[in-house]
Chain A
Amino acid sequence: MYTFSNKLKTFSFILMILGALGVGYGFMTSHKSFEEVETLLAEESHHGGGHAAEASHGAASHDAHAVDNGHGEEAHAEVDEHKEHIEHVQHQIANRPWSALYVAAFFFMMIGLGVLAFYAIQIASQAGWSPVLFRVMEGITAYVLPGALIVLAIAVASGTIGHYNLFVWMDPEVVAHDKLLQGKSGWLSLPWFTIRGLIFIAGWSLYRHFARKFSIAQDTAEDQSNFKKSFRIAAAFLVFFIYSESIMSWDWIMSVDPHWFSTLFGWYVFASMFVSGITVIALITIYLKSRNYLPFVNENHLHDVAKFMFAFSIFWTYLWFSQFMLIWYSNIPEEVTYFISRFNDYQLPFLGMVVMNFVFPILLLMNADYKRIPWFVVMAGLVILFGHYIDIFNMIMPATVGDRWFIGIPEISSILLFAGLFIFVVFTALTKAPLLVKGYPFRKESEDFHY
């Protein structure tokens, strides 16, 4: 049995408290008045910021308005433009702590969900190498229920208690002036969005609940009936998962840009969650092994997990590139704006994540010997995880905060908050059952696994 060390528990609490403080700070400092934003923009124009032209244009129009009333209409239009611009920036600044929280919440949720899918695949494919890691995976998937509820709660709260800080389609004012959003309102409506989210979370959590239950029951069972049941529900879950995951990614991520759509988006998000999940399995396995809780796990198991990290990093890149290249190549205006805003305002994160999610893993994890060295896998894993955080960041932020992004206190605090929660939930779940599946039919094969 694993015991949650007090040190780690304290560490997770410290992360949560620090994170909560930072998130609170982020929300407190994000409500800027119209005048504050106006001076901010004026200051930025003095420093030669990106808004120099617009801001000076705004100032000039004020003067014109004051001097010459004869050109009232024209000047009014310019004043309106100036006002609109400031309100736009004001909204972006207010969106930042919401988006930071949402990105971090989604990132940790998707780790849990990715591991759940991986776990179901291992059972449905009757893998012989992985059963010694099942309890680690079950521990990680304990985060799916709280994590997914938090993501949905943030999404709904942004449209109810917030000022539509994540999803513009939740704003009836916006929809009233937008033909495209009216056309999509059959799907993108707050009640239906919430119900869909709850159905998905219920499906994932039910599978997780029963898979865990059968897995523990199999430990003491005389026959294989629990194994057979868990096999059957794994197969059923995988069918449910691929539909629900796809729709979830439209709802929770793609709809932040409600004018844009992409067909392989669900797969793309799936690749991101799958590789992050596998990486976390490797990291937690290495951690527990270093504490001598997993004597039956050897470097061959690590080698296999690292191979999955390697292969799915490339799979992610394949989907990322396929989506990018098809849109870049045909250059249809209604699609390509998605990448133009990312390429202009997010150049470093947008290209940096390709380096972290592709170039690093392919060079670090190609050598078979390196895949067996724990510290090497940890290093590669941290790069991959950070890269996929940036990936989610790149999906959400351009739609909500635009060029007002920065990885500062709101973002880092949100990561700390959910990292603390994740560690607490996962390691608490790990203490609930022995770390080796006892009665699982492939246990022996897995213990003797050798590559």
Chain B
Amino acid sequence: METSKVIHAIYTDDDVLMSAVKKVKAERYHIEEIYTPFPVHGLDKAMGLAPTRIAIAAFMYGLVGLTVATVMMNFIMIEDWPQNIGGKPSFSYIENMPAFVPIMFELTVFFAAHLMVITFYLRSRMWPFKEAENPDPRTTDDHFLMEIAVDGNEEALENLLKDTGAVEINLIDKAH
């Protein structure tokens, strides 16, 4: 089994963490991961993470929902059995469309919302009985943890992290 070493630097304040991230980035170290108990505003920008595309996915799921609703009701109400129900004009989809709009709207929202959430779960690898990947339980409460790959430069990195205000620095062997 191959092992690689990482450093876990632990912080107790999100402002300190933010400035530490900027310093570490400026020194061109690669930050593997950051664990925080709550969303830290602007952290993704400081880390240089690519923006999410989940909104684009949701828009397309919405279009799928709209299509499903339209095709479904056009088949059922207009093509398959165009029955006269209370005098509503079931001769063509467009003539009877106002009656279908509530369903078209709801299915658009339904598809957009649910498929987006499922996409989120898949992309972030979350499901029931999933084993937690938490390196330190304190990061769920009041500690912030930055994980940096070590590449034979332990000492320089440790000094840098100490300067940034880390309260605890651990060298970890990470099994792959």
Asked if B59 and A321 sit within 8 Å, CB to CB, the answer is no
Query: Whole-angstrom distance between the alpha carbons of A366 and B108 in the complex?
Result: 15
Q: Is B101 an interface residue (CB 8 A)?
A: yes
In this assembly, does B128 line the interface, its C-beta being within 8 Å of a C-beta of chain A?
Answer: no
Answer whether residue A406 sits at the interface, using C-beta atoms and an 8 A cutoff.
no
Assess whether A329 is in contact with B59, with CB atoms less than 8 Å apart.
no
Q: A331–B88 Cα gap in the complex (Å)? A: 10
- Write the nearest CB–CB distance from B30 to chain A, whole angstroms: 28
Q: Which one, A325, A331, A368, contacts B101 given CB within 8 A?
A: A325
List A350-377 residues whose CB lies under 8 Å from chain B.
366, 368
A-B contact count (CB 8 A): 12
Asked whether B87 is an interface residue with its Cβ less than 8 Å from the other chain, the reply is: yes
Query: Is B87 in contact with A329, judged by CB distance below 8 angstroms?
Result: no
Contact B98–A325 (Cβ < 8 Å): yes
Instruction: State which residues 321-363 of A face B: CB under 8 Å.
Output: 321, 324-325, 328-329, 331
Are A321 and B101 neighbours in the complex by a CB distance under 8 Å? yes
Q: Which residue of A lies closest to B42 (CB)?
A: A450
Within 8 A of A (CB), among B52-105: 55, 59, 87, 98-99, 101
Question: Which residue of B55, B59, B98 is within 8 Å of A328 (Cβ)?
Answer: B98
Whole-angstrom distance between the Cβ of A320 and the nearest chain B Cβ: 12
Chain B, residue nearest A324 (CB): B98
| Complexed CA–CA distance, A329 and B98 (Å) | 8
Classify chain B's interface size.
under 10
CB distance from A340 to the nearest CB of B (A): 14
Q: How far is the CB of A370 from chain B (nearest CB, A)?
A: 12
Q: Which secondary structure dominates chain A's binding surface?
A: helix
Complex Cα distance A325/B99, Å? 7
Q: Is the beta-carbon distance between B98 and A331 smaller than 8 angstroms?
A: no
- Give A366's nearest chain B residue, CB to CB: B59
Question: A325 vs B88: C-alpha distance in the bound complex, in angstroms?
Answer: 12
Q: Report A27-65 CB contacts with B as 1/0, cut-off 8 Å.
A: 000000000000000000000000000000000000000
Q: Contact: B99 with A331, CB < 8 Å?
A: no
| Least Cβ–Cβ distance between A325 and chain B, in angstroms | 4
Which A residues are in CB contact (< 8 Å) with B87? 331
Contacts of B55 in A (CB 8 A): 368
> Cβ of A331: which chain B residues have Cβ within 8 Å of it?
87
Interface positions, chain A 275-330, Cβ under 8 Å from B, are: 321, 324-325, 328-329
Q: How far is the CB of B156 from chain A (nearest CB, A)?
A: 35
Asked if A329 and B101 sit within 8 Å, CB to CB, the answer is: no
CB distance from A351 to the nearest CB of B (A): 11
Q: Which residues of A contact B101 (CB under 8 A)?
A: 321, 325
Q: Which one of B55, B98, B99 has the highest number of Cβ atoms from chain A below 10 Å of its Cβ?
A: B98
Closest Cβ of chain B to A330, distance in Å, is 10
List residues of chain A with CB within 8 A of the CB of B98: 321, 324-325, 328-329
Contact with A along B95-138 (1 / 0, CB 8 A): 00011010000000000000000000000000000000000000
What's the Cα separation between A321 and B98 when bound, in Å?
8
In the complex, how many angstroms separate the beta carbon of A311 from the nearest chain B beta carbon?
Answer: 15
The complex places the Cα of A368 from the Cα of B101 at a distance, in Å, of: 26
Residue of A whose beta carbon sits closest to that of B41: A450
Query: Inside 8 A of A324's CB, which chain B residues have their CB?
Result: 98
Q: Who on chain A is nearest to B56 by CB? A: A367
User: In the complex, what residues of B have CB within 8 A of residue A328's CB?
Assistant: 98
Assembled-state Cα–Cα distance A331/B96 (Å): 13
Cα of A328 to Cα of B88 in the assembled complex, Å: 10
Q: Report Cα–Cα, A328/B98, bound state, in Å.
A: 8
Cβ-closest chain B residue relative to A369: B51
A51 vs B93: C-alpha distance when bound (angstroms):
31
List, in ascending order, chain A residues with CB within 8 A of B59's CB.
366
Query: Complex formed: what's the CA distance from A328 to B101 in Å?
Result: 13
Name the residue on A nearest B55 (C-beta): A368
Cα-based distance from A324 to B97 in the complex (angstroms): 12
List B contacts of A366 (CB < 8 A). 59
Q: How far is the CA of A287 from the CA of B101 in the complex (A)?
A: 38
- How far is A368 from B58 in the complex, measured between Cα atoms in Å? 14
**Could you write out 12 A-B pairs with CB less than 8 Å apart?**
A321-B98, A321-B101, A324-B98, A325-B98, A325-B99, A325-B101, A328-B98, A329-B98, A329-B99, A331-B87, A366-B59, A368-B55
Q: For the A-B complex with A321-B98, A331-B87 known, give 10 more contacts whose Cβ atoms are closer than 8 Å.
A: A321-B101, A324-B98, A325-B98, A325-B99, A325-B101, A328-B98, A329-B98, A329-B99, A366-B59, A368-B55
Residues of chain A whose beta carbon lies under 8 Å from any beta carbon of chain B: 321, 324-325, 328-329, 331, 366, 368
